[in-house]
Amino acid sequence: MSKLSRDLTQGPINQTLYRLTAPMVLGILAIFLFNLVDMYFISLLGTEPLAAVSFTFPITMTIMNLAIGLSIGAGAVLARVFGQKDMDAVRSWISATLLLVLLISFSMCLLVFVFQHQLYTWLGAEPELIPLIERYMDWWLLGGFMLVVLIVINATVRASGNTKLPSTMMLISAVLNGILDPILIFGLGPIPEFGIAGAAMATVISWVVAIVFITRKMIQDELLVLVIPSGLKTYWNKLLSLAIPAALTNMLVPLANGILIAMVAQHGTDAVAAFGVGMRLEPIAMIVIMALTAALPPFVGQNLGAGLHQRIEQGLWQSIRFVFVWQFMVFAVMALLATPLSRLFSDEPEVQHLIQWFLYLLPWSYFGTGFSLVLNSTLNALHHPRISLMLSCLRLFVLYVPLAVLGEAMWGLKGLFLGAALGNAIMGVIVVVLIWQGQNSAQWRQKLLAN
């Protein structure tokens, strides 16, 4: 094992998951504070810039979830290889992965850049908002491929059992973004005022700094070797067989939210602005669960490589119990803070009112989303991303979106929020039933743990 690596096949499961999750909480908090800081400074420009950035959310999240899908594929392979203590294979996998990621991410950002006008129109953006949206996204897309690279690099380090280094870099990146945002948005001294585009510039600069630092550390520790491994096609085929279903799974979320944004847009700019704030607050509400699900793949993968299957099952159930208790505590806090949070992001009473209703009606259901994320994370680490994809389709397009549509038809915008919440909660019940049945079926246990 390298100096950056940690052995996750030994020690108490609770303590192991805690040591992995705790640094990730800070790192993921940094990522979403990154977004909230952007939203705060952009909100100072007015409701229209805030609504403009809200329309970019499905697109930026699609690219981010492409990155997450690729990182899941890489992490699933690498964690298992780390569990087998094969460092030569680790280095070859990392090099092959980064080459593929650069190719895919650059192509994706270029494609979005060419067709972005049509995408914003499809999402329901008013014609006068589109130039404002493009002013932001032109800069964001210029560095979007670096976001993908950064997420995958972080996943490779996490697969080694080290969550501290990626989390530290995410925190540094967020702090730098927070410093640069007001300077580039509003100008300072000789630096001109770039407005909404300045937020995107700050974001890109922060990504570049993080990538340079973390790759330097990996090269020093000989985890990253700047050579093209032989048999590149074999590496890419294996990686894509895991990454494509995982990427599709993660892209379903912004697709579902894009459908909801198009529905919300029919209620006016105030509704879109409020929904955009709610969507940015949602990851904050689930930050500990997201950290846990980021910590599970290296734990599951290393124990899979070592053949410690019972340890994987115990970790899964302990994670589910934790999610249930934690998320209801978070809901209580968010409900109490709904009014001050709404006033933080808007001075307009109607926008504040809608933000408050979002926080009253949706966060109670996030335990169901958390259960789904835990199960999906485990399945991906076990090299079963297709099952994860099917479960995500069930959650989003059989429950979440249809119930939101039904709620909106019956009770308007508040009904949309309530319907989406019911979809999350019902899926949570389904996940518990599936895990229980899988654990008590020898055939399913053998199939899931065979890879």
- The pLDDT tens digits of the residues spanning 72-108 come to 778 878 887 777 777 778 788 888 888 888 888 888 8
Mean pLDDT, residues 162-174: 82
Q: What is the pLDDT of residue 5?
A: 62
Q: What is the domain extent for residue 429?
A: 13-448
Band the pLDDT of 424: cuts 50, 70, 90.
very high
Comparing 57-66, 73-82, 438-447, which segment has the lowest mean pLDDT? 438-447
Give the whole-angstrom CA distance, residue 40 versus residue 61.
Answer: 19
Please name the residue ranges forming H helices in 221-268: 232-265
Report CA 10 to chain centroid distance, whole Å.
28
The number of folded domains in the chain is: 1
| Residue 3: inside a domain | no
**Is residue 1 over pLDDT 60?**
no
Mean pLDDT over residues 199-219, rounded? 87
User: Has residue 4 been placed in a domain?
Assistant: no
In-domain check, residue 194? yes
Q: With 90 as the cut, is the pLDDT of residue 131 above it?
A: no
What pLDDT is attached to residue 2? 55
> How confident is the model over 280-297, as a mean pLDDT?
83
Per-residue confidence band for 446, with pLDDT thresholds at 50, 70 and 90: low
* pLDDT at position 396 over 90: yes
pTM, full prediction: 0.76
| In-domain check, residue 1 | no
In a domain, 7, yes or no: no
**Nearest CA-CA partner of 37 in 205, 180, 210, 192:** 180
pLDDT (0 to 100) of residue 320: 93
CA dist 62 and 252 (Å) reads 8
Tell me the two tokens of residue 376.
Answer: 């999906």
| 216-272 tens-digit pLDDT | 888 877 777 777 777 788 888 888 888 888 878 877 887 888 888 888 888 888 888
Give a yes or no: residue 8 inside a domain: no
pLDDT at 348 over 80: yes
Per-residue confidence band for 332, with pLDDT thresholds at 50, 70 and 90 = very high
Section 405-434 average pLDDT: 93
Largest CA distance in the chain: 69
Instruction: Supply the angle between the helices 338-345 and 13-43 in degrees, to the nearest 10.
Output: 40
**Would you say residue 18 has pLDDT above 60?**
yes
pLDDT in tens, 182-200: 899 888 878 888 888 888 8
Greater pLDDT, 113 or 66: 113
